[in-house]
């Protein structure tokens, strides 16, 4: 049986009349990688701040590694590594000094851990460089190293790939997967780059306007991400008429003046193509596509705004 390492029960955070988190319940199991998805202001960072002790919830509670007493939770936080919003680094100290300070704070007696982590995140060559001279990507990587100093069992990362270039993103993905597979670290990651999250996560939580609206596994997401036929043509109104008259109960969505998505009849794509050809409709694009995580998220939350 999988161990539950974090469970929240009806967590709410209110600021006056504004509800940042509304009755949020999640359950994180050991060794999983959770993708945490939501628009800006949906409550992702607020939840992460509650879990790391930076905010107190207005109501609700949570247990961490099976402990739900406040004092025990504080002790259990030593088993969590996190970066919330942006890495919390001392700009006037070097990369090594930042890690060393964290090591002292944690009370980790392993003095070699800082150099090993700098090597792990590819910053060994700049160990003596002051953090204020670092690029955003380097700071993000150092922030992840900082979160790893205490050999955490749960890693909470808020937008960890912000500011990283594609090479760094790919390297970070490999690193996080390695931590999960080799060190059994459970990951709880929020990101706006949903396609990248899709490559990493085993489970997803989707939050919208402070409410948790969906939780699903990677397999469930794949099952729910519907296939569709993408049709792009200059004669879209006529194409729609042909499809409505020629197919049984077609389910479609118009994307723009030239594009539509046909969600039904995906297993009969050849028949649809033949129907369009018989009606002399010239298509610029005709392909069977699957919804991405991003498209699924947009469908669920009802729009592309703020994503």
Partner 1 sequence: MFEQLKLERFKAARFYMIYIAIALIAAAGGSYGYLKFPEGLGLGKVFADAVCDTSLLFVPATVTAWLLGNDFLYRTIHNPIKLGSSRASVIMAKALTAFAVSLMIHLTDITATIVGYGLRYGFDSSLFTTGNLLWLLVVMVQVCAITSFVVLIVFAAKNALAGIALTVVFTFITCNILRNFLDGKTAFKLSCFSLAQTNDVSTLVLSGIFAAITIAVVLGLTQLVFRKAEIK
Point out which residues bind partner 1 (CB under 8 A): 49, 52-56, 73-78, 80, 82, 84-86, 88-93, 101-102, 104-107, 146, 150
Taking the CA atoms of 269, 273, 278 and 280 in sequence, report the sign of the dihedral they define. Answer: positive
Six-digit token string for 2: 């999988």
> Could you tell me the smallest distance in angstroms from the CB atom of residue 80 to partner 1?
7
Please give the C-alpha separations between residue 298 and each of 188, 219, 295, in angstroms, as whole numbers. 21, 19, 5
> Could you tell me the smallest distance in angstroms from the CB atom of residue 20 to partner 1?
10
> Could you tell me the smallest distance in angstroms from the CB atom of residue 190 to partner 1?
16
> Could you tell me the smallest distance in angstroms from the CB atom of residue 71 to partner 1?
9
Q: Which is nearer to partner 1, 44 or 49 (CB)?
A: 49
- In the chain the first and final C-alpha atoms are separated, in Å, by 36
Contact assessment for residue 22 and residue 71, using Cβ atoms and an 8 Å cutoff: no
Q: Which is nearer to partner 1, 7 or 259 (CB)?
A: 7
Give the residue from 188, 179, 154, 144 showing the smallest Cα distance to 64: 154
Q: Which is nearer to partner 1, 35 or 150 (CB)?
A: 150
Residue keyed to tokens 């009349």: 17
> Could you tell me the smallest distance in angstroms from the CB atom of residue 107 to partner 1?
5
Please give the C-alpha separations between residue 183 and each of 177, 178, 227, in angstroms, as whole numbers. 10, 7, 36
Please report, for the chain, how many H helices and E strands are present, in that order. Answer: 11, 14
Q: Which is nearer to partner 1, 35 or 152 (CB)?
A: 152
Q: Which is nearer to partner 1, 26 or 50 (CB)?
A: 50
Contact assessment for residue 190 and residue 44, using Cβ atoms and an 8 Å cutoff: yes
Q: Which is nearer to partner 1, 101 or 307 (CB)?
A: 101
């Amino acid at each position: 049986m999988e161990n539950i390492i974090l469970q929240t029960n009806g967590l709410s955070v209110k600021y006056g009349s504004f509800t940042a988190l509304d009755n949020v319940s999640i359950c994180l199991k050991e060794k999983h990688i959770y993708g945490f998805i939501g628009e800006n202001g949906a409550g992702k960072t607020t939840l992460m701040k509650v879990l790391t002790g930076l905010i107190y919830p207005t109501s609700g509670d949570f247990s961490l590694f099976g402990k739900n007493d406040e004092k025990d939770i504080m002790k259990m936080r030593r088993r969590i590594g996190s970066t919330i919003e942006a890495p919390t680094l001392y700009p006037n100290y070097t990369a090594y000094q930042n890690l060393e300070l964290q090591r002292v704070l944690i009370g980790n007696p392993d003095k070699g851990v800082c150099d090993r982590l700098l090597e792990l995140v590819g910053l060994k060559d700049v160990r003596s460089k002051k953090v204020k001279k670092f690029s955003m990507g380097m700071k993000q990587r150092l922030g992840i190293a900082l979160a790893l100093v205490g050999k955490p069992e749960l890693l909470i990362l808020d937008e960890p790939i912000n500011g990283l270039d594609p090479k760094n993103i790919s390297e970070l993905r490999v690193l996080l997967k390695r931590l999960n597979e080799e060190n059994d670290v459970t990951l709880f990651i929020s990101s706006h780059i949903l396609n990248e999250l899709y490559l990493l996560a085993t489970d997803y939580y989707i939050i919208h306007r402070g409410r948790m609206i969906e939780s699903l596994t990677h397999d469930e997401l794949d099952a729910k991400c519907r296939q569709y036929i993408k049709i792009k043509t200059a004669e879209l109104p006529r194409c729609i008429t042909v499809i409505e008259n020629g197919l049984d109960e077609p389910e479609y969505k118009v994307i723009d003046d030239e594009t539509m998505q046909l969600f039904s009849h995906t297993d009969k794509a050849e028949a649809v193509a033949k129907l369009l050809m018989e009606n002399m409709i010239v298509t610029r694009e005709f392909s069977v596509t699957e919804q991405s995580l991003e498209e699924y998220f947009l469908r669920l939350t009802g729009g592309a705004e703020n994503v």
